[in-house]
Amino acid sequence: MLTVQAFRFALDLSPVQERAVLAHAGAARVAHNWALARVKAVMEQRAAERSYGVPEQLLTPSMSWTLPALRRAWNASKEQVAPWWRECSKEAFNTGLDQLARALKNWADSRSGTRAGRPVGFPRFKSRRRTTPSVRFTTGAIRVEPDRKHIVLPRLGRLKLHESARKLARRLEAGTARIMSATVRRDGGRWHVAFCVEVDRAERTPVRPGSVIGVDLGIRHLAVLSTGELVDNPRHLAAAHTRLRHLGRVLSRKVGPDRSTGQRASNRWQRTANQLARVHARVANLRRDGLHKLTTRLAREYGTVVVEDLNVTGMLRNRTLARHIADAGFAQIRRQLAYKTDWNGGQLITADRWYPSSKTCSGCGAVKAKLALSDRDYTCQACGLTIDRDHNASLNLAALAAEFKPAGSGPVAARGADRKTRARGQAAVKREPGTAPAGQTGTVPPQGGTTNRAQPRRAER
């Protein structure tokens, strides 16, 4: 099974190598800003000519936004724009032009309605101090050295890794992987290299291929499994909040940069800013490590994993719980489960956003019309069952796999919820063309149910 996978390693750069990498990142920024200025100039000129009544055929010729066109324009003007262009790899300039071409295409598709999701704004110029320096290499000498502690990149030469690259090196030596690109980026004061690799992964089977598990996400517990297991929420951001507040106050007392006056930041401001960035990077690393361990365990052990399609964006509007919701990483859990279940031969079923998992009794199937967020125990008025609210929701999610997925078929892709509360079994299941095959992510139609949109669902957990 061919998949595209990323391998990310920390770098240990010398001062000379760090200056070289920064020069390449700066070259990418220069090419991006130059091409964006040219595109904006042509657009503004054509708009001005239209305002004067100039016919369309006499307007200034438009400029193509594709990467080949931008690259041709840059090659024709680089001697005047950047006489030092020979000091950097051509991949540095290609990085900036490629980023601009993608941004312009996303903006145009968003305006025309061909791109789903939130509206995309027009690209902006990259700042030297606020932009994260990065450069991407797609051609040339890109390899891992035999000692697995060094890599080779075009023009940058031999760079030392902070950790061993044996996981990637073994696949390259076995011929089951091919490096497609390498991106060098600075995160949290440390440089990292990310290899985009095409990997030939062996077919795998979960430990229990016929088992089904429902995963109910929350804040009080990061995940409540239908088996009754409670996965604690470590709350890494809350643990580091005191340190972050202290560094923020210290940083505010230093002499920082001021773009209006051209004032540069003091060395003390820069050192404090680096400390603050390292704390944020540590929080992100701890969160990433915990989520990967959880999702990997679920994908390797269970054949079918059922999760909810949570409206995380809407939940973040709750100012009281927004920080805790963002710290939990709900979207990352679902994203990682999507590809890890595919890698391990399982499948991921996604319940509709309006499916009343918390309001439905896992014993008899009765559905409550209302359930307050403060009610942590679910008490069924029909059968008298009393159970933890989150465990009840996870059991209902697990039951969806048997109720809506016939034996031998893949996940069901349906039209979505109608937000009407019904008892279990009364909602018709409609399977539309384009149903996801087995081993891929699907969507389960809701059984109905009304959710109070003014309050995030189970957000206080």
Query: Model confidence over 314-368: pLDDT tens digits?
Result: 888 888 889 999 999 999 999 999 999 999 999 999 988 888 888 888 888 888 8
Determine the straight-line distance between the first and last CA of the chain, rounded to whole angstroms.
39
Confidence bin at 431 (pLDDT 50/70/90) = very low
Backbone angles phi, psi at 343, to 5 degrees: -60, -35
Active-site residue flag, 309: no
Contacts of 267 (CB under 8 A, 6+ apart): none
Is residue 93 pLDDT above 80, yes or no? Answer: yes
Helices marked H in 52-89 — which ranges?
67-81
Confidence bin at 389 (pLDDT 50/70/90) = confident
Is residue 388 pLDDT above 90, yes or no? Answer: no
Point out the catalytic residue in the list 98, 308, 342, 352: 308
The number of residues making up the chain comes to: 461
Is residue 459 pLDDT above 70, yes or no? Answer: no
Write the pLDDT tens digit of every residue in 120-132.
999 999 998 889 9
pLDDT score, position 404: 58
Name the more confident of 376 and 33.
Answer: 33
Query: What kind and span of H or E run contains 267?
Result: helix 267-301
Q: 245-250: which pairs have CB atoms within 8 A and are 24 or more residues apart?
A: 247/272, 247/275, 247/276, 247/279, 248/276
3-state helix, strand, coil in the chain (%, to 5): 40, 20, 40
Contact between 217 and 307 under an 8 Å Cβ cutoff? The reply is: yes
Q: What value does the mean pLDDT of the chain take?
A: 85
> How far is residue 35's CA from residue 69's CA, in Å, rounded to a whole number?
10
Most confident range (mean pLDDT) of 139-153, 251-265, 393-407 is 139-153
> In this structure, how many other beta carbons lie within 10 angstroms of the beta carbon of residue 117?
7
Is residue 160 pLDDT above 90, yes or no? Answer: yes
Write the pLDDT tens digit of every residue in 256-310.
888 888 888 999 999 999 999 999 999 999 999 999 999 999 999 999 999 998 8
> How far is residue 108's CA from residue 65's CA, in Å, rounded to a whole number?
10
Contact between 413 and 431 under an 8 Å Cβ cutoff? The reply is: yes
Paired tokens of 156: 């940058």
- Work out the percent of the chain whose per-residue pLDDT is above 90: 61
Confidence bin at 410 (pLDDT 50/70/90) = very low
Identify the DSSP state of 356: -
Which of 456, 458, 461 has its CA nearest to residue 319?
Answer: 456
Which of 362, 373, 354, 342 has its CA nearest to residue 309?
Answer: 354
Q: Where are the domains of the chain?
A: 2-15+133-200, 24-112, 208-234+275-444
Point out the catalytic residue in the list 216, 327, 342, 352: 216
> How far is residue 332's CA from residue 340's CA, in Å, rounded to a whole number?
12
> How far is residue 115's CA from residue 122's CA, in Å, rounded to a whole number?
14
Write the pLDDT tens digit of every residue in 218-245.
999 999 999 989 999 999 999 999 999 9
Active-site residue flag, 308: yes
- The model carries a pTM of 0.80
Write the pLDDT tens digit of every residue in 52-90.
998 988 888 988 999 999 999 999 999 999 999 999 999
> How far is residue 226's CA from residue 399's CA, in Å, rounded to a whole number?
9
> How far is residue 442's CA from residue 440's CA, in Å, rounded to a whole number?
6
Confidence bin at 450 (pLDDT 50/70/90) = very low
Contact between 219 and 324 under an 8 Å Cβ cutoff? The reply is: yes
